[in-house]
Structure 1
Amino acid sequence: MFTGIVEELGEVSAVEQLTEASRFRLRGPLVTEGARHGDSIAVNGVCLTVVESADGEFTADVMRETLDRSSLGALTAGSKVNLERPMALGGRLGGHLVQGHVDGTGTILSRTPSEHWELVKVALPGTLSRYVVEKGSITVDGVSLTVVEAAADWFTISLIPTTLALTTLGIKQPGDPVNLEVDVLAKYVERLLAAGVDPLTAKGADR
């Protein structure tokens, strides 16, 4: 489980094409400190498993399903990536609960700079629009953010200077893809309501 608070702006060192998969080598001296085989690290919001870690770099295998359902398939050597280690038990939840399971991809539509922040408009897949609400939480490329406006096929987010400087969202341009993960609590509530269960009492309609 992650929080959506990016720890480090890393970089893709190399991409090796495998059969129905790719092996990424990524540089991130901070997140690889103490990292071992089998550990998890979120890359642009996608939870990946460390294969090897040495000299400030780690490798991770990414299967075809993940490449197809996220923007990781578009990464090449030199691409910047957001990196975050899992939240430690008892640690502070600075953002919101993030699983590292991407629900879909969006596209940067526009960027509107202001004196103290930048408003970014992102295209939203229709299958995810019901989970995105004004002032709700959403994860964009692994960054926990608050929705400013929410429409049927787009939403906006405001980025402060720190986010612009320390994450990939500061360099993404209109047309660039981003990974999206909606608030998992919304999906659980939807599932409970569909089953006729009151999400507040966990009791079914017939009880």
Structure 2
Amino acid sequence: MFTGIIEEKGEVVAIERTGGGALLSVRGPLVTSDARHGDSIAVNGVCLTVVTAERDVFTVDVIRESLDRSSLGTLTEGSAVNLERSVRADQRLGGHIVQGHVDGTATLLSREPGESWDDVRFSLPRPLARYVAEKGSIAIDGISLTVTTVDDESFGVSLIPTTLKLTTLGDRQVGDVVNIEVDVIAKYVERLVARQ
């Protein structure tokens, strides 16, 4: 489990295609500092398992499902990525419950810079629209954000200076594709109610 509070921006240093998947090597000195084989690190919001961790680079296997459902398949050497280690039981939950199980992708539709923040709007895949609520939580490329507006086809968020500076969303442009994970609680509530 993750919180959606990004610990650092990393950099993809190598991608090795393996059958239907890939072996991804990522530079991230902070998240690699205590990483061991089997640990979970979210890369742009996708929970991945550490294969190796040496110096400031860790490697992860990315299966076909993750490549198909997320934007990880579009990464190239040199791509910046958001990184977060899994949360420990004794840590504060600063964002919201993020599983690292990406529900799909969205496209950045518009960006309106403000004095201190940017208002951005993303497409919303129709099957996920029912899980997104104004003032609810959503994870975009692993970043815990509050939904400011929503309709059946798009949603908006505001990006504070810290988010703009310390995550990849500061550099995203109109047309860029991002990973989204909707609130897991909404999905469970829907399933429970449907069984009644």
Aligned-pair distance for 1:179? 0.3
Corresponding residue number in structure 2 for 1:159: 159
Q: Report the Cα distance in structure 1 between the residues aligned to 2:21 and 2:61, rounded to whole angstroms.
A: 7
**Aligned-partner residue type, residue 84 of structure 1:** E
- Structure 1 counterpart SS, 2:49: strand
Name segments (4+ residues, structure 1) moved above 2 Å. Answer: none
Post-superposition CA distance 1:142-191 (Å, at most 9, x none) = 00000000010100000001100000000011111000000000001000
Post-superposition CA distance 1:44-63 (Å, at most 9, x none) = 00000000000100000101
**Within-5 A mapping of 1:25-40:** 25-40=25-40
Does residue 50 of the first structure (1) align with residue 66 of the second (2)?
no
Corresponding residue number in structure 2 for 1:169: 169
Aligned-pair distance for 1:34? 1.4
**Structure 2 residues not aligned, in runs of 5+:** none
Post-superposition CA distance 1:24-68 (Å, at most 9, x none) = 000000001111111100000000000000010000010111101
Does residue 133 of the first structure (1) align with residue 133 of the second (2)?
yes
TM-score (normalised: structure 2): 0.99
Corresponding residue number in structure 2 for 1:84: 84
Aligned-pair distance for 1:90? 2.1
Q: Report the Cα distance in structure 2 between the residues aligned to 1:39 and 1:8, rounded to whole angstroms.
A: 17
**Aligned-partner residue type, residue 101 of structure 1:** H
Corresponding residue number in structure 2 for 1:74: 74
Larger-Rg structure: 1
Q: Report the Cα distance in structure 2 between the residues aligned to 1:45 and 1:90, rounded to whole angstroms.
A: 21
Q: Report the Cα distance in structure 2 between the residues aligned to 1:25 and 1:172, rounded to whole angstroms.
A: 22
Identity within the alignment, %: 64
**Within-5 A mapping of 1:2-13:** 2-13=2-13
**Aligned-partner residue type, residue 115 of structure 2:** E
Q: How many residues align?
A: 196
TM-score (normalised: structure 1): 0.94
Q: Report the Cα distance in structure 2 between the residues aligned to 1:65 and 1:80, rounded to whole angstroms.
A: 22
Corresponding residue number in structure 2 for 1:185: 185
Q: Report the Cα distance in structure 1 between the residues aligned to 2:8 and 2:130, rounded to whole angstroms.
A: 31
Q: Report the Cα distance in structure 2 between the residues aligned to 1:42 and 1:59, rounded to whole angstroms.
A: 12
**Aligned-partner residue type, residue 154 of structure 1:** S
Q: Report the Cα distance in structure 2 between the residues aligned to 1:51 and 1:178, rounded to whole angstroms.
A: 25
Please, what is the CA RMSD of the aligned residues? 0.5
- Structure 2 counterpart SS, 1:31: helix
